[in-house]
Amino acid sequence: MLIGTAGHIDHGKTTLVRALTGVDTDRLPEEKRRGITIELGYAYLPLPGGDGSPEATVGFIDVPGHEKFVPTMLAGANGIDFALLVVAADDGPMPQTREHLQILQLLGVALGAVALTKADRASPERLAEVEAELHALLAGGSLAGAPVFPVSAISGDGIAALRQHLLDAAAATPPRPDAGGFRLAVDRVFTLAGAGTIVAGTVHAGRIAAGDTIELAPAGKTARVRSLHVQNRKADAGHAGQRCALNLAGLAVEDVRRGDWLIAGGAPNLPAQRLDIRLRLATDAPRPLTHGASVQLHHGTRHLTARVALLDAALEKTGLAPGGECLAQLVADQPLTACRGDLVVLRDAHGRHTLGGGRVLDPFGPVRHRRHPERLAVLAALAIDNPAERLQALLAAAPLGLDLPQLAAAENTPPDALLARLPAGSARLSEKAGWLIGSAALDALAARLEARLALHHAEHPDELGVERDRLRRMLAPQLPAPAFAEWLDAWLADGRLARTGAAWHLPDHRVELDARDRRRADTLLPWLAEHPFDPPWVRDIALRLGEPEAATRDLLKRLAARGEAFQVVRDLFYAPAAVRSLGQIAGELEGADGAIRAAAFRDRTGLGRKRAIQILEFFDRVGYTRKVGRGHEEKHRIRGELPLT
């Protein structure tokens, strides 16, 4: 169990920890000189009869009490199991007593006790008066009913009783679940001679062992765990709810800072900058929290600046009143590492008042449409506690599906474990895109696609269909192209769609030519093959055919709709055999990096740069390639089959 102190400056937190554990947590010379705690301090107390293992050791995190060091207090309190609120009997509750208590409530700390220090300086009447005041202060909060222990660190009175209470609470508190990927919030980094970089913090999730690979987030650097200490004892492994100090190979001390996270190697490291949360404003907040307000955002052991977007449109003018709750998006000024369920605390922009806080629902909030009813339905689904019910509700609220790797990062759960929560057949996964969609939603998308194609056929009877990328933009531009392509192929195999060349259409739709157009087509199609890589332009074909240019262009477009020609640019059509040959050349030019360079394609085909790029862009348009470079380094990467049938 991890116990965190809290309370006003000079109320005796550090002295009390020393009396309980025998450890002086003030280690800096400046702390000794000034007689105040500036940095986080750590002490440990073995459980009686324990085996000396980390599991049989209680950890103490001693925090500063000065109002200027509230951010440091927040870094220490984030992740504790038990709060030890320290109040001096002569002073009684003071400003930081109240603010620290408020922070503990915002961080969800529900276990605690109160140490009424300096009891030897107060009369029995004064002790009774302050104890009554404390019970009233705690009433209605997460620590309501917490026991109060009058103690004196000088005489030792009451120390044994308080220590026994803390040990009993530790013995009765079950270990935290260690499910999910490893996450450690860094609060200390230093070097040891002969060891190298040591990174310490509280483990929020998962397990870690010597030899494991970890990643520094959000920086992305990796390191190997040489060895570790857990609860100040050498150990082979540590888990959620423990203090861990990791000796890392591969990271320099200057690479790491307080506020970073260590996460499991290979886990998704997706920086978050827009946190959608359920926000609660403190009842004693100095004023309503306005839409667009600048605040200090505290998450884990880090604090940074953010702006608040209230997601309830009715609050945009009035703001969120003290004591109120609403959905909000916090837009941080720098990327951070967060997961669903993390707790955040907000203070005003000047760091003078704690305003409120909340629980993260989605660390990857959208830039646009954040108040849209569909988005609010997604947030309602994310608020469900049961993981399986939450995932099913989330799929039901997302008609176009979900980014599975991003969801796995938000939930700190491997994708396979997420999929295991779903009933068989209830969802469909695109392996290439990592996109998950509900089966009912996929059927609805297919029906919408059929209706959209039917409308297109009615409005453009001379066109056979729509190219794949254009069809995606018309129907569901938010969908990843690989997922849409995969589902199109599935609907093609099921007979719900048909494809002719690059055109997708309903199976019963055809573009027919009358006898006269057929004769003209049979005349001009061989002309496209005379110079297959450099066919004639529409104006030249029209002149040779003796027909108006507009009529010739219309005929060629209908031939392209039938798959008998391919329109590369507006007035340039290629024969299918030529397109097939050009596609084969592009495939042969694929380099070691998987890319086709426009310059190499130009040289191989003997075409000019402009024409070579036009053909490659046509390949992009029909889904054969995808542009990955621009300018003189323009490159294209093959992403599918060339659709010629």
How many other C-beta atoms lie within 10 A of the C-beta of residue 110?
15
pLDDT at 631: 60
375-409 exposure pattern, b = at least 16 Cβ within 10 A, e = fewer: bbbbbebbeeeeeeebbbbbbebbbbbbbbebbbb
Distance CA 528, CA 530 (A): 6
- In this structure, are residues 552 and 545 in contact, taking their beta carbons and an 8 Å threshold? yes
Fold for the domain defined by 2-172: Rossmann fold (3.40.50)
- In this structure, are residues 179 and 146 in contact, taking their beta carbons and an 8 Å threshold? no
User: DSSP string covering 513-554, please?
Assistant: --HHHHHHHHHHHHHHHHSTTSPPBHHHHHHHHTS-HHHHHH
Farthest CA pair distance, the chain: 115
Distance CA 220, CA 630 (A): 27
Adjacency order of strands within the sheet including 466-467: 466-467, 503-505, 498-500
Distance CA 409, CA 264 (A): 11
Residue ranges in the chain modelled with pLDDT below 70: 630-632, 644-645
What is the C-alpha radius of gyration for the chain, rounded to an integer number of angstroms? 33
Query: 197: which strand partners?
Result: 191, 248
The two three-digit tokens of residue 484, written as one number: 């849409």
- In this structure, are residues 304 and 297 in contact, taking their beta carbons and an 8 Å threshold? yes
Single-letter residue type at 104: L
How many other C-beta atoms lie within 10 A of the C-beta of residue 548?
10
What are all long-range contacts of 437-442, with beta carbons under 8 Å and residues at least 24 apart? Answer: 437/395, 437/398, 437/400, 437/401, 437/402, 437/483, 438/395, 438/396, 438/398, 438/401, 440/396, 441/395, 441/396, 441/398, 441/399, 441/400, 441/401, 442/401, 442/487
**Nearest Cα residue to 625 out of 452, 492, 502:** 502
Nearest 5°: CA angle at 498, between 493 and 500?
Answer: 125
CA dihedral of 262, 76, 363, 378, whole degrees rounded to 10:
130
Q: List Cα–Cα distances, 619 to 41, 530, 567, 569, 622, in angstroms.
A: 63, 22, 11, 11, 5
- The top-level CATH class assigned to 515-638 is mainly alpha
Distance CA 220, CA 218 (A): 6
The two three-digit tokens of residue 451, written as one number: 């209706």
CATH superfamily of the 272-371 domain: Translation factors (2.40.30.10)
pLDDT in tens, 189-215: 999 888 889 999 999 999 999 999 999
Chain position carrying tokens 């408020």: 102
- In this structure, are residues 437 and 427 in contact, taking their beta carbons and an 8 Å threshold? yes
pLDDT at 644: 66
Single-letter residue type at 547: E
**Nearest Cα residue to 63 out of 13, 10, 12:** 13
436-446 exposure pattern, b = at least 16 Cβ within 10 A, e = fewer: bbbeebbeebb
Q: Report CA 417 to chain centroid distance, whole Å.
A: 17
Distance CA 430, CA 407 (A): 14
| Residue 348, burial from CB neighbour count under 10 angstroms (0-12, 13-18, 19+) | middle
Adjacency order of strands within the sheet including 427-430: 402-403, 435-438, 427-430
Q: Ramachandran region of residue 513, left (φ > 0), alpha (ψ -120 to 50) or beta?
A: beta
pLDDT in tens, 321-342: 999 999 999 999 999 999 999 9
**Across 381-457, where does the E strand assignment appear?**
402-403, 427-430, 435-438
- The pair phi, psi for residue 377, each rounded to 5°, is -65, -35
Fold for the domain defined by 183-264: Elongation Factor Tu (Ef-tu); domain 3 (2.40.30)
Do the domains at 2-172 and 183-264 have one common CATH topology?
A: no
| Residue 76, burial from CB neighbour count under 10 angstroms (0-12, 13-18, 19+) | buried
pLDDT at 450: 95
Query: 260: which strand partners?
Result: none
Cis? peptide before 536, omega within 30° of 0: no
Chain position carrying tokens 């997302």: 398
Cβ within 8 Å of residue 101, ≥6 positions away: 6, 85, 137, 138, 141, 143
The two three-digit tokens of residue 139, written as one number: 């009433």
Cβ within 8 Å of residue 372, ≥6 positions away: none
- In this structure, are residues 552 and 544 in contact, taking their beta carbons and an 8 Å threshold? no
- The pair phi, psi for residue 140, each rounded to 5°, is 85, -5
**Nearest Cα residue to 198 out of 267, 263, 266, 255:** 255
Domain ranges of the chain: 2-172, 183-264, 272-371, 441-505, 515-638
pTM of the model: 0.80
- In this structure, are residues 64 and 5 in contact, taking their beta carbons and an 8 Å threshold? no
Single-letter residue type at 203: V
Q: List Cα–Cα distances, 124 to 87, 119, 150, 161, 582, in angstroms.
A: 16, 9, 10, 18, 96
Q: Does CATH number 3.40.50.720 belong to domain 441-505? A: no
